[in-house]
Every structure is written in structure tokens, then in C-alpha cells.
Amino acid sequence: MNDDTGHGFPAAHCAGGSTVSEAAAGAILTIDLGAIRENYRRLKARLAGVRCAGVLKADGYGLGAAPVAAALIKEGCDIFFVALLGEGIALRKSVGPGSDIFVLNGLPPGSESEAVAAALHPVVNSAAQLKAWRETARASGRTLQAAIQVDSGMSRLGMPPAEVEALSKEAFDGIDIRYVMSHLACADETRNPANEEQRLAFERLRRMLPAAPASLANSSGIFLGAPYHYDLARPGAALYGINPTPGEANPMLPVVRLQAKVAQTRSVGEGAGVGYGHTYHARGPLRLATISFGYADGWHRRAASAAWFEGMRLPFVGRVSMDSIVLDISALAAGRLGEGDLVELIGPSQSVDDAAGHAGTIGYEILTSLGARFHRRYIGA
């Protein structure tokens, strides 16, 4: 294998930034592939024999679809979901021929031959997409595989009930329906009655289609219990360490560590203005550290937040800049933190979900926003 990152993955297959050396980088993103594998095993244990796919959309939730896929394959995972055809084509190049890859958003009209060439299966979301895939099968003279998605109540993707009811038997000529699937809108809210309403709607809709294995649960859906498991689960977030059971202890292992480097430290006197717009003024003498990390690296400019060093909270002061953030390090003994030292933004002191809470968003957005300038380190492979 072309091991030019030192981690078993060709650099070109890792997301941007992996070629920046640790010494040169402003921030370091460590991704624990061993933790992803353990999270997959934990989900499998809950699923008690039901198959478990891996959702790798948005470059594996920002963590690198290729290395994550390789880790999941080692756990026996051979079904992957991506959102877009382009993601599927890239993933096929990295995983080779052995795995099934489904494209959740369906195929844009005119792109069907590209899906055939890369051996990708569409998630068929409309009667028009079904017709296009049927015609592609006829033209290619063979049976083509697909998942059929029905809208059980999220109103986002999938065939609406009226469209499902109107389908003839011939509508599926030349198509091997691998799964009938749907997606839950409120799976992270255990008590929300929408979950059971969607499950019952899914039951009703799948009976109108040719018999096929079924798939409904995302990460949180797995924790709604066995009636939601069907024949295939489709977790993404939980694999990456995001809590699939908000409000309860996280049953998953953390996967991501994000550390930023101190670019400079300084002392300022009372009244000193800090950062653009002088939105912060020192209320007394302060020691400050500026880190090489900013909104261009995916940290929301509006997020009031903090970094951590050896268990100490170091609050952001002033505005988040494009490439830098100023921290108040007065709580640390003088000289304890200097140029080149690393502070933690995501890690043992501040989980992805904690960081998301401070930023008024969700862990999914924190991970998929992570920028391209980090030195990426894959461990646990």
C-alpha cells in the first residue's frame, strides 16, 4: 500500500490538509479509527444480528471517508451510504469492488451511467428516478440494484405515499430492490410520538412495494429499540462519537481530538482592547495567548467558547478571527503555556457535543465544518 502518510492511507485519499506536517500546521486533528471500530461493534451488539451499514456522507462527517471505510471494512461492514454521486465515485475508488455503496440523495437526471460505471446503487426517491433507473437497466441489458426510499413523514427525500400507491408492478422491471427504506425525523427524541407514527407509515408503505429487506434506523433510531431495527441499520453520527441519546450519558467512545497551536503570548494592561471591533476590554492586567485557529477552520465566529490546557479552561476573549483566536490564560502560572504549545478545542475536556452546545449547534455541524488546514493524524488503525 502507498503508505505516504505513515498511517496506511494514500495522502490523496485523506481530506485536504493531511499533507501539512505536524510542525508546520496551526492545528492538529487526531482521528481515532480504533474508537470508530469500537463504536461500530457497540452498535452491532445492540442490533443483535441485524446488519449494520456505515454512513460516510460529507467525507465521513468530515473525518475522511476513505480511512473510515477501511476501518469499518475490518469490522466486517460491507454496506456504505453517501449523500452524493460524486462521494460514491470517490469512495468506490478507495474501497474497491467488494462493498455495496448507496447514494442517499438519488441520481441527478443524466448521471445514471456514471453510477453504473462505479457500481453504485441509487436510493430511488421518486417515480421519475425509478423510471430513469429502469431505463438504464434496460439499456445496459442487465438487472440493476437500488434502494427504494419512501417518505414516512419527514417530507424531505423519498416517494410520497400517493406516488407509492400509484406504482405498477412493471415499474420495477429490471430492478433488484435491495432495501425499502425511510428516515426518521425525530429519532433523537425518544418520547416523540412522531417516531412510532413514522414506523407505522413505513410499515403501510412497504407493504405496497415488492417484498424486500427494510431499513429505517439511523444512529438514534438504533436506540429506539428492536421494532426500529428491521434488516439494516444506517448509523453515521454515533460511529464518529456524537451522542445518539442526547440527555443521557454518551454510550459511544470519543473519536476526535482537535488541538490548536499557540502562535504568540503577551501581557496587556487594564483597558486594553482585544481583537476586531474591540468587543472586549481587559478588566485588569491579563495574560493572553493567540492560537492559530479561527473561523476559516470551521469554528463559528459567533460561538462564545473556550479552549482547554491541562484541565484548565481558557476562555476566548474578543472576536474569533479568520485564522486566530485570543485566549485569556491568566489562570495559568506564568510561562506554563508558550509558543508552539497545544491547547485543546475538542477532546477529553470538551466533547464534540459540548463544543456544539457552546456554539448553539449540533455535533454533526461541528465535525462537517472542520477545515482543510489541519495536520490530520489517524491513530488506532
Q: How far is the CB of 218 from ligand PLP (least distance, A)?
A: 3
Q: Is 57 a catalytic residue?
A: yes
Could you tell me which residues are beta bridge partners of residue 175? 144
The residue within the footprint of ligand PLP, chosen from 219, 259, 350, 351 (CB under 6 A), is 219
What is the Cα 175 distance to its own chain's centre? 30
Alpha carbon distances (Å) from 152 to 180, 183, 185, 188, 252: 11, 7, 9, 17, 28
Are the CB atoms for 167 and 208 separated by under 8 Å? yes
Q: Residues, the chain, total?
A: 381
* Count of other CB atoms within 10 angstroms of residue 18: 23
What phi, psi does 117 have (nearest 5°)?
Answer: -60, -35
Measured CA to CA, the distance from residue 216 to residue 227 in angstroms comes to 10
Are the CB atoms for 266 and 274 separated by under 8 Å? no
Q: How far is the CB of 184 from ligand PLP (least distance, A)?
A: 8
181 annotated among ligand-binding-site residues: no
Site stretch for ligand PLP (CB under 6 A), options 28-36, 191-199, 217-225, 252-260: 217-225
Q: Is 261 a catalytic residue?
A: no
Q: How far is the CB of 159 from ligand PLP (least distance, A)?
A: 14
Q: Which of these is catalytic: 74, 93, 131, 276?
A: 276
Q: Which of these is catalytic: 40, 44, 57, 295?
A: 57
Measured CA to CA, the distance from residue 218 to residue 49 in angstroms comes to 16
Smaller CB distance to ligand PLP: residue 43 or 90? 43
Measured CA to CA, the distance from residue 159 to residue 156 in angstroms comes to 10
Is residue 218 a contact residue for ligand PLP (CB under 6 A)? yes
Binding mask 283-312 for ligand PLP (x = CB under 6 A): ------------------------------
Measured CA to CA, the distance from residue 295 to residue 359 in angstroms comes to 12
Note every long-range contact of 317-321, with CB atoms under 8 Å and residues 24 or more positions apart, other chains counting.
317/274, 317/275, 317/280, 317/286, 317/288, 318/273, 318/274, 318/275, 318/276, 318/277, 318/278, 318/279, 318/280, 319/275, 319/276, 319/277, 319/279, 320/294, 320/295, 321/275, 321/276, 321/294, 321/295
Q: How far is the CB of 323 from ligand PLP (least distance, A)?
A: 30
Is residue 236 a contact residue for ligand PLP (CB under 6 A)? yes
Give, for 205, the enclosing helix (H) or strand (E). helix 194-206
Q: What share of the chain is helix, strand, coil (3-state, %, to 5)?
A: 30, 25, 45
322 annotated among ligand-binding-site residues: yes
Smaller CB distance to ligand PLP: residue 104 or 289? 104
Question: Cβ-closest residue to ligand PLP?
Answer: 236
Binding mask 47-86 for ligand PLP (x = CB under 6 A): --------x-x-----------------------------
Is residue 224 a contact residue for ligand PLP (CB under 6 A)? no
Site stretch for ligand PLP (CB under 6 A), options 14-22, 41-49, 228-236, 292-300: 228-236
Site stretch for ligand PLP (CB under 6 A), options 33-41, 90-98, 161-169, 232-240: 232-240
Residue by residue, DSSP assigns 12-69 as GGSPTTTTS-TTT-SEEEEEEHHHHHHHHHHHHHHHTT-EE-EE-HHHHHTT-HHHHH
Q: How far is the CB of 154 from ligand PLP (least distance, A)?
A: 9
- Residue numbers 172-211 binding ligand PLP by CB under 6 A: 183
Are the CB atoms for 274 and 283 separated by under 8 Å? no
Q: How far is the CB of 124 from ligand PLP (least distance, A)?
A: 13
Smaller CB distance to ligand PLP: residue 55 or 317? 55
Smaller CB distance to ligand PLP: residue 306 or 355? 355
The residue within the footprint of ligand PLP, chosen from 33, 65, 69, 104 (CB under 6 A), is 104
The residue within the footprint of ligand PLP, chosen from 178, 234, 319, 377 (CB under 6 A), is 234
- Which residue ranges make up the annotated binding site? 156, 322
- Which residue ranges make up the annotated binding site for substrate? 156, 322
Catalytically active residues, by annotation: 57, 276
Binding residues for ligand PLP, rule: CB under 6 A, are 55, 57, 104, 183, 218-220, 234-238
